[in-house]
Chain A
Amino acid sequence: EAQVTQNPRYLITVTGKKLTVTCSQNMNHEYMSWYRQDPGLGLRQIYYSMNVEVTDKGDVPEGYKVSRKEKRNFPLILESPSPNQTSLYFCASTFKGGGNYGYTFGSGTRLTVV
């Protein structure tokens, strides 16, 4: 089944403890993105990648890192999480070419930082 897989689904952590949220897609998509969703603020892009070893900042990149060493994987790294990073996180991917391709989203990771 074609899908974007995120892990973990739920995570509670303490301030300052480094964590990684994994994202993997099996559709051979070039583009991958991370979004966070917050009440009243909607969905905002954190980082994106247009291909292997090519990443760039989105609208809210502060406090996050990403890497794209393989085409299928795009992990989100929080080196020193803070309570304001408590949010619902989504990974998404799509093909490079053609306006007839839409984004496919993962099931989400609910992160709580205490």
Chain B
Amino acid sequence: KQEVTQIPAALSVPEGENLVLNCSFTDSAIYNLQWFRQDPGKGLTSLLLIQSSQREQTSGRLNASLDKSSGRSTLYIAASQPGDSATYLCAVRYNQGGKLIFGQGTELSVKP
């Protein structure tokens, strides 16, 4: 069964810290992987997409890596800010027409 797991479920850090969010998936034959941000009760905002052939993607203070052989992706957030507080979701797509399989998310709180 294709499953996506995110650890930790919740994380609280002081402002300015660099942090890593983890995502693991059981089937390594992925099509692509997306990281989303969700504010409470709001929609999903796409942060980064990594294609199956890529190892990492960067956008501003965010860097996402992909290691298919180990079934893992990480989202690195540099110099965290209170505005980064949100739930971060990892989603894996296994084929061209495929659905996204989501992890349960990591709820991040960045304290001033």
Chain A 94-106 per-residue mask, 1 if CB under 8 angstroms from chain B, else 0: 0011011111111
Stretch of A18-26, A40-48, A64-72, A79-87 lying at the B interface: A40-48
A42 proximity list for chain B (CB < 8 A): 102-105
Measured CB to CB, the closest approach of chain B to A23, in angstroms, equals 12
Residue B52 interfacial (CB < 8 Å): yes
Residue B83 interfacial (CB < 8 Å): no
Chain A 28-70 per-residue mask, 1 if CB under 8 angstroms from chain B, else 0: 0001010100000011010010100000001100000000000
A35 proximity list for chain B (CB < 8 A): 100
B46 partner, pick from A45, A103, A106, beta carbons under 8 A: A103
B104 proximity list for chain A (CB < 8 A): 42
A108 with B99: CB separation less than 8 A: no
Given A33-B99, A50-B97, are A103 and B34 also a contact pair (CB < 8 Å)? Answer: yes
Given A99-B52, A100-B51, are A108 and B42 also a contact pair (CB < 8 Å)? Answer: yes
B43 partner, pick from A45, A96, A106, beta carbons under 8 A: A106
B105 with A102: CB separation less than 8 A: no
A100 proximity list for chain B (CB < 8 A): 32, 49, 51
A33 proximity list for chain B (CB < 8 A): 99-100
A103 with B43: CB separation less than 8 A: no
Question: Which of B36, B43, B91 has the largest count of A CB atoms less than 10 A from its CB?
Answer: B43
A108 proximity list for chain B (CB < 8 A): 41-43
Chain B 8-51 per-residue mask, 1 if CB under 8 angstroms from chain A, else 0: 00000000000000000000000110101000011111100101
In the A-B complex, list the 5 residue pairs whose CB atoms are closest, starting with the nearest.
A102-B49, A107-B43, A105-B44, A99-B51, A43-B102
